[in-house]
């Protein structure tokens, strides 16, 4: 698998950078490619400027997310040290509000303060925190039904079985067709 599955909640997109056959965040180039795919989702890192610190931050939050989401999905408590790690990432880049404008026309926005790596980690940790704190969303997460796939997804359709119809769904249909053909020949 050489491309990321995107379009799921951000926390799942982060976890899905670790498919069964590799690690899409194994190097800075992989992080930059993933950040480009996540454009428009509010991540503070500029893909062209992301470096080793941002890669370490993303991988660190991903490790915490894997444990937290895995345990929470199984109905088990998330260990205090995992929560402390997520909270540390959130606290390293606090959100501040800012009013801008000329007085007649004002705009209010929130942004994170801190180093780019800390801001990236905080945004990713925030996405994980929102997911594990929402029992409805957490219960809706599914694992891909393909035998060799470990990706997670949030189905819009309750009948959806695969992370991607084009990726795993097509492979499963082809394999099923092949088995039927073999059985008919026997």
Would you list the DSSP string of 68-123?
Answer: HHHHHHTTPPPPHHHHHHHHHHHHHS-EEEEEEESSSSEEEEEEE-S-HHHHHHHH
Residue 2 domain-assigned (yes or no): no
169 assigned to some structural domain:
no
Query: Which pLDDT value is given to residue 45?
Result: 78
Assigned domain for 100 exists: yes
CA 113-26-93 angle, 5° bins: 10
Rounded Cα distance, 5 and 45, in Å: 19
Range of the domain at 124: 10-142
pLDDT under 50: residue ranges of the chain:
1
- The number of residues making up the chain comes to 186
Evaluate whether residue 58 is within a structural domain.
yes
pTM: 0.87
Q: What is the pLDDT of residues 120-171, one digit of tens each?
A: 999 999 999 999 999 999 999 999 988 888 999 999 888 888 888 777 877 7
Q: Domain tally for the chain?
A: 1
């Amino acid at each position: 698998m050489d491309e990321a599955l995107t379009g799921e909640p951000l926390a799942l997109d982060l976890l899905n950078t670790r498919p069964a056959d590799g690690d899409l965040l194994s190097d800075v180039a992989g992080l930059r490619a993933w950040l480009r795919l996540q454009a428009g989702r509010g991540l503070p890192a500029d893909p062209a400027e992301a470096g080793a610190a941002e890669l370490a931050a993303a991988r660190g939050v991903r490790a915490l997310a894997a444990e937290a989401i895995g345990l929470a999905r199984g109905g088990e408590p998330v260990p205090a040290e995992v929560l402390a790690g997520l909270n540390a990432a959130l606290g390293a880049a606090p959100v501040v509000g800012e009013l801008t404008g000329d007085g007649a026309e004002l705009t209010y926005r929130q942004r994170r303060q801190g180093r780019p790596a800390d801001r990236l980690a905080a945004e990713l940790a925030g996405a994980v925190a929102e997911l594990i704190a929402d029992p409805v969303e957490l219960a809706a997460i599914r694992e891909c039904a393909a035998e060799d796939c470990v990706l997670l997804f949030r189905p819009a359709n309750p009948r959806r079985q695969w992370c991607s119809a084009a990726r795993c769904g097509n492979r499963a249909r082809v394999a099923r067709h092949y088995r039927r053909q073999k059985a008919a020949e026997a």
